[in-house]
Amino acid sequence: MMNAKFESSIDEIGMKIIQELQMNARSTYSEIGKRVGLSSPAVAERIYKMEASGIINGYHANINPNIFGHNIMAFITLTTHTEKYQKIYSFAENHKEIIECHHVSGNASFIMKVVSGSISHLESMVEKLSRFGETKSSIVLSSPIQKAMMESI
C-alpha cells in the first residue's frame, strides 16, 4: 500500500525514471528522458520532487569489496537485550567491516552484513560482537541473485 506522499509524486513514468536511475544513476536527464518519453527539464523536475519527498534517498557507487581485500562476506545474527542497542548501533557505525546492520524481529535482535579480509579477522569481529550477546555466523559462499529495490516492487 502506497502512502499519499508517494502517490502524489510518482506515476508510471516516475517508476520508469526510478528504474533507469537504479540501472545507472549517472545517466543524464537527457538520456533518461529519451528512454521514458520526457524532456530533460521534465525529468529533472520529477527527480527533484522524488528527492524532496524522500522517495529517492541518495546515490551511491556499488563497490566490489574483493578489490580492497575483503574477499569474505558473512551475515552475523546477534541476540541481545534492548538496553544494549545504543552501544550496538555505535559499534556498528564505528567498524567499517559492518556494511549493513538491521534490527529485526524473530529470534535474533540484529542481522549484520560483514566483510573481511580473512577468517581470523572475521573471528575477531564475531568475538567483539559476542560481548553484546549471542552470535551466529553464516559465511556467504556466493550471491547468484542480487536485485535493485524497484525490481522487487
Where exactly are the structural domains of the chain? 4-52, 65-139
What does the DSSP assignment read for 71-112? -EEEEEEEE--GGGHHHHHHHHHH-TTEEEEEE-SSS-SEEE
Task: Find out whether 136 and 108 touch, Cβ atoms under 8 Å.
Answer: yes
Under CATH, which number does the domain 4-52 receive? 1.10.10.10
User: For residues 83 and 51, is the Cβ–Cβ distance under 8 A?
Assistant: no
Q: What local confidence, expressed as pLDDT, does residue 62 receive? A: 78
Averaged pLDDT for residues 5-21: 79
pLDDT tens digits, 33-79: 999 999 999 999 999 999 999 999 998 887 778 788 889 999 999 99
pLDDT higher than 60, residue 152? no
Count CB atoms within 10 A of the CB of residue 83.
7
Contact 75, 113 (CB under 8 A): yes
Q: What is the pTM of this model?
A: 0.73
Note the CATH number of domain 65-139: 3.30.70.920
pLDDT in tens, 93-145: 999 999 999 999 999 999 999 999 999 999 999 999 999 999 999 999 998 88
